[in-house]
Amino acid sequence: MKDIEEKISVIVKACADKKGFNIKILDISELSTVTDYFVIVSGNSPNQVMAIADEIEDKMDLASYELLGKEGYREGTWILLDYGDIVVHIFKKEEREFYGLEKVWADSRELTMEDII
């Protein structure tokens, strides 16, 4: 669990550093075999969404965590970063509202940073 806590902490700090907002950490381990956690964050523009993704990638690389996959970067409205046990969804605000991942995964357990630290 320590490794997961550290990964989530690095991701959330990187989001905050680029002024990402409405950061949610969802434990979906009981609901999915694909990954254990979603981190969902919003940005106000495609440029901010891309900046958040870049910051996460940079900080995770510095911490020696391997990025397994990246989708949606070119458009900058919904970027997915796959770190295996954690998948990060970086949304432009309007796309996040439209797709409503939190509603889709409503049975998940939402964590706070206090749960992680």
Q: Which amino acid is at 65?
A: Y
The pTM of the full predicted model, rounded to 2 decimals, is 0.94
Task: Identify the three-state secondary structure at position 42.
Answer: strand
The CATH architecture to which 2-116 belongs is: 2-Layer Sandwich (3.30)
Q: What pLDDT, on a 0 to 100 scale, did the predictor assign at position 107?
A: 87
Q: What pLDDT, on a 0 to 100 scale, did the predictor assign at position 100?
A: 92
Q: What is the pLDDT of residues 52-110, one digit of tens each?
A: 999 999 999 999 999 999 999 999 999 999 999 999 999 999 999 999 988 889 889 88
- Cα 46 to Cα 111: distance, rounded to the nearest angstrom: 27
- For the four alpha carbons of 57, 15, 83 and 59, in that order, the dihedral sign comes to positive
Rg over alpha carbons for the chain, rounded to the nearest Å, is 13
Q: What pLDDT, on a 0 to 100 scale, did the predictor assign at position 117?
A: 55
For residue 91, count CB atoms less than 10 angstroms from its CB and return exposed for 0-12, middle for 13-18, buried for 19 or more: buried
Q: Residue 2: what are its φ and ψ, rounded to 5°?
A: -60, -45
Total Cβ atoms within 10 A of residue 61: 11
Q: Which amino acid is at 74?
A: R
Q: What is the pLDDT of residues 20-59, one digit of tens each?
A: 999 999 999 999 989 999 999 999 999 999 999 999 999 9
- Cα 68 to Cα 36: distance, rounded to the nearest angstrom: 15
